Amino acid sequence: MSLDKSFFTRNTNITAKVICDSISEQGVRLTTFEIEYPRIVMSEFNTMRAISKNSSSSRAIPVSKMLEHTKNINLKPIYFGSKKSGMQAGDELVGEDLQYAKSTWESALHSMVHSAKILDECGVAKEVCNRLVEPFQLVKVVCTATDWENFFNLRLHPDADPNICMLAYKMYQAMQESKPFKLKAGEWHLPYVTAGWNGKGEMRYADEDFNFISLEQAIKLSAASCASVSYRTEGMTLEKADKIFDMLIKAEVIHSSPFEHLATPVKPKFNELGKVRVNCSEPQSWEEGITHINKQGELCSGNLRGFIQYRHLLPNNTNWKFDYNERMKLFK
């Protein structure tokens, strides 16, 4: 495959924007993106375990809306490489071969849209119908991490799939252009929430209409907005956020992943003789929400370094005692 720098100037549906960017007093940067990219490379993005992710779901989107969106975007691979042995494609097709490949892909798109419509008319659930058009869909994702270097190293590379290579390029450029806000312990990184400081140096939070809201309301609004990417909804009221928040944490099976995007810096290490030690090497000194320490001696919470995820402040955020017999009682 012979990608060169001109590849990154191509017109594409792939987008990346930074929606929340923070840096702790210890210099750890936490960045949240909202991205859209071809679903065909979703598995390659999901292998990046240092990144928290919530994505739009085929099971949640009505069939009519899914099919309309599929036809409107008319999505094709960004690069039609020639076949060769190994994982990577060869040089890009040109001339009539390229045009024929594109038209064949488009024919497949219309065929799958037609088939999905027939299944829908037969009364088949959307979680089945929508699967047919997934190869022709963009997926919208909210993703958060403190450590992006390995992702860029693997995906912003000529040997990577061109679709995810373009995504990595756009994310890198967006991150370079973004300036993170400095946060102290107790101040929160909250995607989709407006934050700033008042005249007393206190952090204040606001909804999308710039109405001031409490920290509790801001946490609910942020978590609900991250979760609702599954439904492609636009806008989020406090009332709607309350309902989604309760659905996430009060369900029989708690859904914790949206809370991984919300975080506050770890308190600085305190180790003064004769006083209570805070965030030292021994676990009994750690703040609530810290889960482990890495080889560099940095305190971590889940997949974040130097920040405490709100997920790990929730009781029972992970099930460690699955009861198979009790679960099977749910199946009639």
For the segment 62-66, the average pLDDT, to the nearest whole number, is: 92
Which pLDDT does position 318 carry in this prediction? Answer: 85
**CA-to-CA distance for 155 and 162, rounded, in angstroms?**
9
Answer yes or no: are the C-beta atoms of 116 and 63 closer than 8 Å.
yes
Q: What is the pLDDT of residues 218-275, one digit of tens each?
A: 999 999 999 988 554 567 888 899 999 999 988 778 889 999 999 999 998 886 666 7
pLDDT of residue 141 exceeding 50: yes
**CA-to-CA distance for 301 and 295, rounded, in angstroms?**
14
**CA-to-CA distance for 236 and 105, rounded, in angstroms?**
37
pLDDT of residue 45 exceeding 60: yes
For the entire predicted model, the pTM comes to 0.93
Helix axes 95-121, 63-73, angle to 10 degrees: 170
| The residue type at 137 | Q
